[in-house]
Amino acid sequence: MTEHAAFPTGATPKLASIEEIGERLASIRQRIDAVAAGRPVTVVAVTKTWPVEITRRAMAVGLVDCGENYAQALAAKANELAEVGDRQPRWHFIGGLQRNKIKLLAGVVDLWQTVDRDVLIDQISARAPGSAILIQVNTTNEEQKSGCKPDDVGRLIEHGLAAGLEVRGLMTLGPTGGADPRPSFAGLAALADRYQLPELSMGMTGDFELAVAEGSTIVRIGSALFGARQPKVG
């Protein structure tokens, strides 16, 4: 089964209605506003493993930023929307990025959130000149996680700018295993301040309020909007 096949053959996923998504979004925004101290925060709807209809429903309630983890899934959804003339969201690529997938996504992705090494900068610059990127940083020092070391951030920013890319900010994942994510988020915020970068993508369904309190300007929300994530198979 291909990378973008989210459901087994014949499976019928239960999709949240537009009304349900709208009510959940309103609650999320209230929770963000309570800790954002007046700062604007972008909610990226994480639509991975869901069919393209959930993207349409997300956009119907004003979620114009949508995030995907898998290159083929994002390309397939963008193509499906284009085929019927539907409006495209602002696509964020938020999964582990492979250099051989960049050609597939060039011209589709609006913000590459997971750039963590030189070869990705070079490939994005070659395939999608002038693209906006975030540098992904491994702030928890977990070997299984993507992201550059904090000490490499400055060099990667310089490389991205020299390659003609728009380096908007930094991105990280909180710690696994239920550990307190605030030190990780605070560390990323300090790096963004050091390099005078405006965007911080940190925080997901389980920790977005803590992330916003530490300065996040982008949160990546899936299950709090759409319900339990459908399993990816194949």
Query: Would 185 be classed as within a structural domain?
Result: yes
Query: Would 118 be classed as within a structural domain?
Result: yes
Per-residue pLDDT of the chain (234 residues; tens, 9 = 90+): 234 444 444 455 689 999 999 999 999 999 999 999 999 999 999 999 999 999 999 999 999 999 999 999 999 999 999 999 999 999 999 999 999 999 999 999 999 999 999 999 999 999 999 999 999 999 998 888 899 999 999 999 999 999 999 999 999 998 888 889 999 999 999 999 999 999 999 999 999 999 999 999 999 999 999 998 655 543
Cβ atoms within 10 Å of 56's Cβ, excluding its own? 19
Query: Would 209 be classed as within a structural domain?
Result: yes
Task: Please count the structural domains in the chain.
Answer: 1
Query: Would 56 be classed as within a structural domain?
Result: yes
Query: Would 98 be classed as within a structural domain?
Result: yes
- pLDDT tens, residue by residue, 93-105: 999 999 999 999 9
Q: What angle do CA 223, 234, 63 make, to 5 degrees?
A: 30
Query: What CATH number has the domain bearing residue 165?
Result: 3.20.20.10
163, 128 contact by CB (below 8 A): no
pTM above 0.75, yes or no: yes
Reading phi first (left if > 0) and then psi (alpha if -120 to 50, else beta), residue 229 is in beta
Query: Would 1 be classed as within a structural domain?
Result: no
Query: Would 59 be classed as within a structural domain?
Result: yes
Task: Give pLDDT, residue 231.
Answer: 58
Query: Would 186 be classed as within a structural domain?
Result: yes
Q: Which two tokens stand for residue 191?
A: 């790096």
